[in-house]
């Protein structure tokens, strides 16, 4: 068994929107139901930025170590853990743990549990070298997996895979991905393709357009250039996409998806801009008979399935590795919409 240090490096903040300090902090001790993971890499999700800023009507713990796309190696475990061994690869997901007794947990909807414990939000997350996770919810990652490449699957991949399942589209149908060039969007394009769907990608700038096309989108709509987005999308899809996966952080783009979606279409809400409201004209919603549905990460089975697509080489996040200490800079780029795909933090730097 490897030596577990008492202190480690992590990124921590004391107040929402306050300074993010990269410094030495104590290594957490796993509870009886938890594993201790030596996090090697962690993706940076836009949710981590919302958490730091305090964007949502749900309090974070403070001080907080963010992060919920952590991939690493199990180095210790509590007495009641029987599903992980020391040396196994494990992943830290948004849902760190849940009560497992309520009506939602009973039907496999653990993210909807009122007592859900959230990594990088109510439970210190993966922006540190050692992090704890409830062994029931921690993701199983096959030995030999590239831990930097798999990290974005643990939130972005699982979330968009689940959103596509929620849309219940048929092969050959059109799906629009709004926010297609970001962390969730770049994976949504690939899962959609692997499920036999035709993809229309929406984002801003030429570089994102090239990336989206490269990943399999048939059409790219640049929201910074296109004057009539609704018409352009409906023209390109012969009447509007059958489904829309909203992963942008734009309230206007979310409401607009109700306008361009095809009759009988599904609008899936995933992105969580601060204070946003999705506006859909009642007349149009009735006459087109569209569905608007929220989709929130995924459960253990969704996680296993999403990881299986990755292991089989069907999806791969375009990612760039930087040191953990560079988290504030990554947040700046993310705020400006300048990130293509994902940034993944190397916890040794």
**Binding-site ranges for ligand NAD (CB under 6 A):** 45-47, 50, 155, 159, 178-179, 181-185, 202-204, 223, 247-250, 253, 270-272, 295-297, 334, 337, 339
Q: Which residue number, 36 or 176, has a Cβ lying nearer to ligand NAD? A: 176
CB-closest chain residue to ligand NAD = 182
User: Apex CA 329: angle with CA 8 and CA 214, to 5°?
Assistant: 110
Q: Which is nearer to ligand NAD, 30 or 66 (CB)?
A: 66
Asked if the bond preceding 63 is cis, omega within 30° of 0, the reply is yes
CB of 193 to ligand NAD, least distance (A): 17
Q: Minimum Å distance from CB 153 to ligand NAD?
A: 12
Cβ 189 to ligand NAD shortest distance, Å? 12
Pairing of strands 198-203, 174-178: parallel
Quick one: 130 or 161, whose CB is closer to ligand NAD? 161
Q: Which two tokens stand for residue 331?
A: 């947040």
The distance of closest approach from Cβ of residue 206 to ligand NAD in the complex, given in angstroms and rounded to an integer, is 12
Closer to ligand NAD by CB, 73 or 160: give it. 160
Alpha-helix runs per DSSP H in the chain:
46-53, 103-106, 147-150, 156-167, 183-194, 206-214, 229-236, 251-260, 282-288, 300-311, 327-335
CB of 205 to ligand NAD, least distance (A): 7
- Residue 47 as a binder of Zn ion (CB under 5 A): the answer is yes
The CB-of-159 to Zn ion minimum distance in angstroms stands at: 7
Q: Which is nearer to ligand NAD, 217 or 253 (CB)?
A: 253
Q: Which of 118, 155, 167, 175 binds Zn ion (CB under 5 A)?
A: 155
Q: Which of residues 304-343 bind Zn ion (CB under 5 A)?
A: none
Determine contact, residues 43/319, Cβ cutoff 8 Å.
Answer: yes
Distance in angstroms (rounded) separating the CA atoms of residues 191 and 164: 8
- What is the DSSP-derived secondary structure letter of residue 95? E
Q: Which stretch binds Zn ion (CB under 5 A): 45-53, 265-273, 308-316, 324-332?
A: 45-53
What count of residues does the chain have? Answer: 349
**Residue 270, contacted partner among Zn ion, ligand NAD, none, CB below 5-8 A by kind:** ligand NAD
Q: Which residues contact 11 (CB under 8 A, 6 or more apart)?
A: 20, 21, 22, 65, 66, 67, 127, 128, 324, 325, 327
- Nearer to ligand NAD by Cβ, of 72 and 273: the residue is 273
Cα 269-212-141 angle, rounded to 5 deg: 70
Please name the residues in contact with 60: beta carbons below 8 A apart, sequence gap of 6 or more.
Answer: 16, 51, 54, 121, 122
197 contributes a contact to Zn ion by CB under 5 A = no
Among 27, 45, 249, 324, the residue binding Zn ion under the rule CB under 5 A is 45
239 or 337, CB closer to ligand NAD? 337
Nearest to 130 by CA among 288, 4, 273: 4
Contacting positions for Zn ion (CB under 5 A): 45, 47, 155
């Amino acid at each position: 068994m490897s030596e577990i240090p008492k202190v480690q490096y992590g990124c921590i903040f004391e107040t929402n929107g306050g300074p993010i300090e990269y410094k030495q902090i104590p290594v957490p001790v796993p509870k009886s139901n938890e594993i201790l993971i030596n996090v090697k890499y962690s993706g940076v999700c836009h949710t981590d930025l919302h958490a730091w800023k305090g964007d949502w009507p749900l309090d974070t713990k403070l001080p907080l170590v963010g992060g919920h796309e952590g991939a690493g190696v199990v180095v210790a475990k509590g007495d009641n853990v029987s599903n992980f061994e020391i040396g196994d690869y494990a992943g830290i997901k948004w849902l760190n743990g849940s009560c497992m007794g309520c009506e939602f947990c009973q039907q496999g909807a653990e993210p909807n549990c009122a007592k859900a414990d959230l990594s990088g939000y109510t439970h210190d997350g993966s922006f540190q070298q050692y992090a704890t996770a409830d062994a029931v919810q921690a993701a199983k990652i096959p030995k030999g997996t590239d831990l930097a490449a798999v990290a974005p699957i643990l939130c972005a991949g699982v979330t968009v895979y689940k959103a596509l399942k929620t849309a219940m589209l048929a092969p050959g149908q059109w799906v629009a991905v709004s926010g297609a060039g970001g962390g969730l969007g770049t994976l949504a394009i690939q899962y959609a393709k692997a499920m036999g769907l035709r993809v229309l990608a929406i984002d801003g700038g030429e570089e994102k357009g090239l990336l989206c096309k490269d990943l399999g989108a048939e059409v790219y709509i640049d929201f910074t250039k296109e004057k009539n987005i609704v018409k352009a999308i409906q023209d390109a899809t012969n009447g509007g996409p059958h489904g829309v996966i909203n992963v942008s952080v734009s309230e206007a783009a979310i409401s607009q998806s109700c306008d361009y979606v095809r009759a009988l279409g599904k609008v899936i809400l995933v992105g969580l801009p601060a204070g946003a409201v999705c506006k859909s004209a009642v007349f149009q919603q009735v006459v087109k008979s569209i569905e608007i549905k929220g989709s929130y990460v995924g459960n253990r089975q969704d996680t296993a399935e999403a990881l299986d697509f990755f292991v089989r080489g069907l999806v791969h996040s375009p990612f760039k590795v930087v040191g953990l200490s560079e988290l504030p800079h990554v947040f700046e780029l993310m705020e400006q919409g300048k990130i293509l795909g994902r940034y993944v933090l190397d916890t040794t730097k």
